[in-house]
Every structure is written in C-alpha cells, then in structure tokens.
Chain A
C-alpha cells in the first residue's frame, strides 16, 4: 500500500534555515544541509527547500546548497523559490534535486509548467500554490490564489488553477493555506479536500501543522497525499519518529524508515 508522506519544509534565507509566522519575523535555525541530513537520518520521507529571498532579490537559487544537500540526503527533495526559467530548473535538477517547485513564476507564465514537464517529465514539476479564503464570487471554490508570500492577489480561483496546472503537466501540487500558515492550529481541511478531489495528481498539504492529529486530519478528511511540517520539528517539539508513531496509531499507513547510518 502506498504510504502517506511526512515532508519537512526548510525555508532558506542567507544560507540559513529560517522560520517565521506569515512570512514575517524570521529567526535562523541552522545550516540547510546539516539539518536535512539530520532529518534524513531520523526517517523523514521527503524534504522541501524554499529559497525565500531569491525571488525578491532577483537572484538565482543557491545551487551550492542544493549540491550539499544531495551529497547527504538519499530521499527525494524539491527546491523552489527564485526559479526564473528552464535553465534554472535544469540547474536545480542536475545538482541532485528530485523536483523543482514553481509558484509566482507559474502564475505569471503558466506555460513554464508545460515547458518544464516536456523537458524533464511531469514528475519533476511541482506547482506551489498559496491560497486564502475569499468571499468574492469570482472564486467559486471560496479560495483565491495569492503570490509573493501572500501579499499579492493572483486573480485565480484555487481549484481552477490546480486543474489548469495539472492539464499543463504539473506532477504534484504543494498547497499552502495562507490563513493557516504559522498558526499551529491545523491545516485548512476544506481547501485541501477541494483541491485534492479536483485533480488526479498528488497534493501536499501545507500550513498550520501544530500537532500530529493535524496531519491525520488533513490526510484523512483533507484527502491529502502528503503533509508538510516545519516548526513542529524545527523547534524540537516533535520528532519524525514521534509524528509517524501517532499517524500509525491513528491508522494512517506510514513508511517505517530504518535508521540511516
């Protein structure tokens, strides 16, 4: 049986892993490659890196960091933030990343999804999507897409955008709720379920994880294929093994990872 994935997100800023609430008030947590190696040894299923300032600073992603991670981590990892074109995607994949994630770029230029899927295969292309609740009838799902860390509306309905990205060739969607992000009060279940049921590709739920029950809820009621966590593990509140044990106790199929040497 296919297991549900536990994914850890590492936001990287100035070569350090950082964590903030709603993209503000960041604190440094450690070296990306070292933290990645530690989580790998603990048995996490996948890792996600976002170079959170590359986009704003108009510079390419830190390929050196991707190379360092690839030397130490033998599970899939994706890299996003600051992808500007096909050449950037190629550089990230050749450096050892399994997947590349596009967010604002795909909103501005949806064809990048098609180009990326054609050049590298759909399985490499993750659509990153930030969404928030909206009462505007222009968004029938009740959720609109936002870009630039939630600061700017994309004028897209979340479900419609998910379906469009799938038709363009995205292999997976990493769906982040701006409303839930950083609250630790649980994932946005309704948003996740709506998107996951609307597409035939896997959906990673992101934003709001505070305790293991939240993961169980989003994988069950939210119909997500994977759940992303950050502060839950970064601050040592929970361990990978601890979260997986709770998931398994609740009846969610998880990978029983061996201890890596």
Chain B
C-alpha cells in the first residue's frame, strides 16, 4: 500500500491523480496506524513548513513518519515533505523540523531580477545514479515553486542540484531509503510521473 500523508495543508489530489496516471493507487491518510502499515510513504506538501510541522504534531504523524523512515521502507518527500526532514527551517522566523537529516532550510537571497518564489521549470542535474532516476535524462526540467531550499550538511546525500538566482542548491536528496525532492514531481509532466513510478517500484535499497 502506498500512503500519502495528509497533514491538512497540501493539495494531495494531485499526487493521487499522478499515481493513478501511472496505474498506481495512493491512499490519502492522516492516521498514524495506516502510515505504520504502508509499504511506500509519500509526504507531499505546499505552503509553509511551520504549518506543516504543526499539522504533523497535532495528528501524531511526526512520530509515525520518523518510525516509518527508521523501518527502512521507501520514503518520498516532496517540497515541504523534503524540507521537514532537516533539523530546522528559516521560515516563519525559525522552526524546528523532524531532524532526520542534518542541515537546515534556507531562504533564497533577494537580489535585483531574482524573483521569489523560485517558480517554474528548472534543470535538475544529477550528482550520481539512483533507482528513482531510471529513464530520466540528466538536466531534465522539473516544476519548482518555493522560497526556501534544503541545505544538508553531508554532500553525500545530494542526488541532484539546481541553480537559481546564483544559488546552486540541492533539489533532490537521497540517503538509504529516503528520497526527497524540492520540485513537485506530481506537476512535472512525464519526468515527474516517471520518478513517482520509479519510487513506487523501489524497495528502498541502494
């Protein structure tokens, strides 16, 4: 069973419909018990990291998500679902996140001609190979919309990079059974659908 974490913020329909397009069924849930039973867990999200952490904590999903990750089963974080894995975020004046990965979430620096949010299609440049990237070309474009980006401590976790406004940031992270993308795979056309399909076929081992 593929579970899609509902923390009461995101547009989860898009992820479910994207899975359906590649002949997969995703169960939208805010129940920690169902998260515990899932084979694959997808944590999508839009909006603010603070609201996401609050939503997770209120529903006791923070512990459920951490336990799922610790179990070694495949986890995919999308946008906010990527950012919450780090220790803290600059958003909303600074908030504590799940701390699964060491590092923080930083704001893009304002500069003339650099629009924030980083919105639109940008190239994702692979740092190494990974099962979820099967069939996707290096440098292919994915859809981004975010004002903050993940900055992991260990560069070994960086699966791909993207450049925006003079900042080269980690747009895709991977460690053990964790994959986390800053872009919206569910809105990234055929490449995004392929990534979702690859993830759901993956056993979490590299």
Contact = CB atoms under 8 A, between A and B. Distances in A.
B11 A93 contact: yes
Given A74-B21, A75-B187, A200 B13 contact: no
Contacts of B164: 2
A74 B188 contact: yes
B189 A260 contact: yes
25 contacts: A1-B163, A2-B121, A3-B121, A3-B122, A5-B120, A5-B121, A43-B189, A70-B13, A70-B14, A71-B17, A74-B21, A74-B190, A74-B192, A75-B189, A93-B11, A98-B11, A98-B14, A98-B145, A123-B117, A123-B146, A201-B116, A226-B120, A255-B121, A255-B141, A261-B190
Interface in B151-170: 163-164
Interface string A164-207: 00000001100000000000000000000000000011100000
Contact of A121 (B14, B47, B116, B163): B47
Interface in B124-156: 140-141, 143-147
B46 to A, nearest CB: 5
Specify the main secondary structure of chain B where it touches its partner: mixed
Nearest to B139: A256
A143 interface: no
B158 to A, nearest CB: 19
A226 B47 CA distance: 22
A21 interface: no
Interface residues of B, number: 40
A214 to B, nearest CB: 20
Q: Chain A contact residues (Cβ within 8 angstroms of B): what range?
A: 35 or more
B121 A124 contact: no
Nearest to B117: A123
A255 B123 CA distance: 8
Given A2-B144, A74-B188, 14 more contacts: A2-B118, A3-B122, A70-B14, A75-B143, A75-B188, A76-B143, A96-B11, A120-B46, A123-B46, A123-B119, A124-B47, A223-B113, A255-B141, A258-B140
